[in-house]
Amino acid sequence: MEKPVTRISVRNLVEFILRSGDLDSRRGTMDKEAMLKGSRLHRKLQKQMGGDYRAEVALKRESSYEDLSIQVEGRADGIFTEEETTWIDEIKGIYGNVEKLEQPVAVHKAQAMCYGYIVAMEENLSSIGIQMTYANLDTEEIKRFREVFSIEDLSDWYQKLLDEYHKWLSYSLKWKKERNESLQNLEFPFPYREGQRKMVGSVYHSISAGRQIFIQAPTGVGKTMSTIFPAVRAVGEGKGETIFYLTAKTITRTVAEEAFAVLQEKGMKYKVVTITAKDKLCFMEETKCNPAHCPYAKGHFDRVNDAVYELWTSSHVYDRQTILGQAEKRQVCPFEMCLDLALWVDAVICDYNYVFDPTVHLKRFFGEGVGGDYIFLIDEAHNLVERGREMYSAAICKEDAVLARQKMKDKAPKLYRSLGKLNHQLKELQEECETYRILPGTGTITMMALKIQGEFDMFLEEHKDAELEDEVRQFYFDVRNFLNIAELVDENYVVYAENGADGRFRLKLFCVNPAANLGEYLKKGRSAVFFSATLLPMGYYRKLLSCRADDYGIYVESPFSQEKRCILNACDVSTLYTRRSYEEYRRIAEYIAKTVWQKKGNYMVFFPSYKMLEEVYRIFDEEFSVNWVRCICQNSSMKESEREEFLEEFEHNQDSLVAFCIMGGIFSEGIDLMGEKLIGAIMVGTGLPQLGNEREILRSFYSEKGENGFDYAYRYPGMNKVLQAAGRVIRTREDKGVILLLDERFRQREYSSLFPVEWNDRKTCTLSNVEEQLKRFWEMAK
């Protein structure tokens, strides 16, 4: 059999094997403008070197091992001959003072040494010179370092470098063979539920064809297993490689972990890592990634490769506790170690932003020019619309610029002056703006932001140990993000200025339709599966999540009996703003009371706002409370421990429990309260988002495109919240429960057409007959 060949660039090879030193977020990272400056400076220096100087020389060399071959390739900045010595020239552009450099950066020199070895071997040289050329990007001041190496020394050094990399590749090759063998006879781990076989087959065929699929499948079908199983089978047959299971909430990550665990119990060999947010993994009280603050950051890169290799080769499942344990043992940053480990595993469970966010995506997988045979399983895909808008939007706030200017006055005079000019530009814009104003573009503000970023980068380069104050650092990140997003602005964006309700003035690049931007990342993989219990209307989600015309779409019907749940729509109550009053709130409170009084158990009531929740709760407590009904209320600032305590109430309550919650909030999706833990959900209102500048911008944008702007801005997002909240009730075949819709608008065609097909048995009720209908249902459902 022909040996597999692994290709790697010189830069990636040395940066992976030879990285060393501290983890330090205080240092600026090279932006696109700096890269362009660097390219221009490269070309200028190359032209100055004379006629025998060969620029941008493509090089490659293949080295054979028993099990595989490694092809190292790259492009030397320059090769020239001087006094019978062949020299490799490696050019690096920096913002700092080149005169302060005492020696070349180790990985920069290693790149040049790799090129030197390849050239020496090709040309049969006994020695070769390495020249490191450092140039300041602004002043073009130059400093050079030179060293001559014998071919014997270079050969020994290069072989050790390659042997260290081969260690990783060799284990990976053996593991994948073992993994694929374990998948050959893997069977679906449960008896198929109704609709599940259809879903599994559809996902498998989509991955095989390298296409995308949208799946509307109700709660209880088993969506997680029905997507993971066909995906791992496809990987075993060579129809994909890394699986990314993407979620919006922590609890759905746990469900994915459990699904992989079930398959592993059935004999599947698969390495799975869950990426947890940095602040949740950090050992320190305050997350500051620099050696002055964190002992795990000091010398992190000296130890992290050994930490990753040991963990990777000794276990298969890498959850939060496993990551923390290994990081503590090896004294490295757990978050950065986790990201490095992700490169070598078979499946990554993580938040959407690690794939799609232009600022924090995993550059190892999704950086410029990087891609692979990735399979994207996108859970609760309805959430990706708003998350996508957030990820691809950016703003600059005038008040933040003023604060940053004040704090940098004595530290960076040039930056101070530039921030003053930016403030002046924003102030002029503010004077022409009442509430909000649509703009044709950003004008000269983008150029000023570019100047400010350059001066920030220069300051950070020259003051490597400086630690920016939190507000200044955040403004620096805001400027970088604004400039990155500015490059994406096209017909899917609206640029506007606003005097916000919070009293702050901002200029915003608002991504109205994120589909094109999401598509740029999806193109880096092989296939994507968008699935949710609430993906209706499917046409709306397809337009906002994908630009492809060949996407599949399927509707999986509910496997649950309609006789085990009762859906009632009240026709004598409304949550319209014009109808909100004590009388209407009392009517809602009485509906809640009459529902709860019919059968003891746990209920959730979902409101469109905290104000309405508080008003109705007060009336319910004063006029309808009884001693066997206990009430709890969600509040706007619940910590994680308080959320857990809130949900624990559903586990142990002996009488009736009524939980007053927010529609679209933390308790309205992604939680499992099965059986007797929850027997009723009451939806107060149609979930329409509150009026605001961006909602009105969305409405106008889509109306101008010939769509129903109100649907896109309000009705579709609102009804999604309603259906998600309603989905908390029936989770298994054994569950019985009530869904009560408190708003007469649900009877209108524009709303009722958005209900799932299986809701075709819903009935109308009034305050006078709701008890009778509920009593009849509970008697029949026994």
Q: Mind listing the pLDDT tens digit for each residue in 521-559? A: 999 999 999 999 999 999 999 999 999 999 999 999 888
Q: What SS3 state is found at 633?
A: strand
| 402 burial type by CB count under 10 A (0-12 exposed, 13-18 middle, 19+ buried) | middle
pLDDT of residue 377: 98
Q: How far is CA 772 from each of CA 16, 181, 767, 777, 780, rounded to the nearest angstrom?
A: 70, 60, 10, 9, 13
Task: Pick 490 or 95 by higher pLDDT.
Answer: 490
Average of per-residue pLDDT across 199-220: 95
Report which DSSP code applies to 531. E
pLDDT of residue 67: 95
Q: What SS3 state is found at 130?
A: strand
Confidence of residue 32 (pLDDT cuts 50, 70, 90): low
Q: What SS3 state is found at 437?
A: strand
Distance CA 765, CA 773 (A): 8
Q: At residue 729, does pLDDT exceed 60?
A: yes
The region of weakest confidence among 8-22, 29-43, 519-533, 725-739 is 29-43
**CA pseudo-torsion sign 706, 707, 710, 714:** negative
pLDDT of residue 96: 75
Report which DSSP code applies to 276. P
Residue 76 β-bridge partners: 57
pLDDT of residue 457: 84
Q: At residue 283, does pLDDT exceed 70?
A: yes
Q: At residue 616, does pLDDT exceed 90?
A: yes
The region of weakest confidence among 155-164, 228-237, 238-247, 452-461 is 452-461
Confidence of residue 28 (pLDDT cuts 50, 70, 90): low
Q: What SS3 state is found at 570?
A: strand
Average of per-residue pLDDT across 78-100: 89
Closest by CA position to 158, among listed 105, 121, 125 = 121
Distance CA 200, CA 5 (A): 34
Domain 562-780: CATH superfamily, name plus number: P-loop containing nucleotide triphosphate hydrolases (3.40.50.300)
DSSP E strand boundaries for 505-612: 505-511, 527-532, 552-555, 565-570, 602-607
pLDDT of residue 2: 83
Topology match between the domains 5-169 and 184-270+347-389+515-555? no
DSSP E strand boundaries for 412-525: 436-439, 493-499, 505-511
Confidence of residue 103 (pLDDT cuts 50, 70, 90): very high
Pairing of strands 737-742, 565-570: parallel
What are 681's two structure tokens? 């959900």
Mean pLDDT of the chain: 93
Amino acid sitting at position 44: K
Amino acid sitting at position 29: T
Structural class in CATH, domain 394-511: mainly alpha
What are 354's two structure tokens? 């690690």
Confidence of residue 31 (pLDDT cuts 50, 70, 90): low
| Plot region of 514 (φ>0 → left; ψ -120 to 50 → alpha; else → beta) | alpha
Task: Residue 713: count other Cβ atoms within 10 Å of its Cβ.
Answer: 26
What are 224's two structure tokens? 């997680």
CATH number of 5-169: 3.90.320.10
Task: Pick 707 or 219 by higher pLDDT.
Answer: 707
Contact call for residues 681 and 739 (beta carbons, < 8 A): yes
Q: At residue 390, does pLDDT exceed 70?
A: yes
Q: At residue 1, does pLDDT exceed 80?
A: no
Confidence of residue 672 (pLDDT cuts 50, 70, 90): confident
Distance CA 774, CA 740 (A): 10
Q: At residue 632, does pLDDT exceed 80?
A: yes
Report which DSSP code applies to 714. I
Q: At residue 575, does pLDDT exceed 60?
A: yes
Please provide the DSSP assignment of 382-393 as one string: THHHHHHHHHT-
Distance CA 328, CA 334 (A): 8
| 411 burial type by CB count under 10 A (0-12 exposed, 13-18 middle, 19+ buried) | middle
Contact call for residues 699 and 527 (beta carbons, < 8 A): no
Query: What tens digit of pLDDT does each residue of 118-160 get?
Result: 999 999 999 999 999 999 887 889 999 999 999 999 999 999 9
Confidence of residue 461 (pLDDT cuts 50, 70, 90): confident
**How does 752-762 read in b/e, with b if 16+ C-beta sit within 10 Å?**
bebbbeebeeb
Percentage of the chain modeled with pLDDT above 70: 98
Average of per-residue pLDDT across 308-323: 95
Kindly list the domain boundaries of the chain, sorted by start residue.
5-169, 184-270+347-389+515-555, 285-345, 394-511, 562-780
Q: How far is CA 289 from each of CA 260, 298, 300, 470, rounded to the nearest angstrom?
A: 32, 9, 10, 13
Closest by CA position to 337, among listed 270, 269, 289, 286 = 289
Structural class in CATH, domain 184-270+347-389+515-555: alpha beta
Pairing of strands 527-532, 212-216: parallel
| Helical (H) or strand (E) element with 527 | strand 527-532
Residue 91 β-bridge partners: 133
pLDDT of residue 29: 55
Pairing of strands 505-511, 394-397: antiparallel
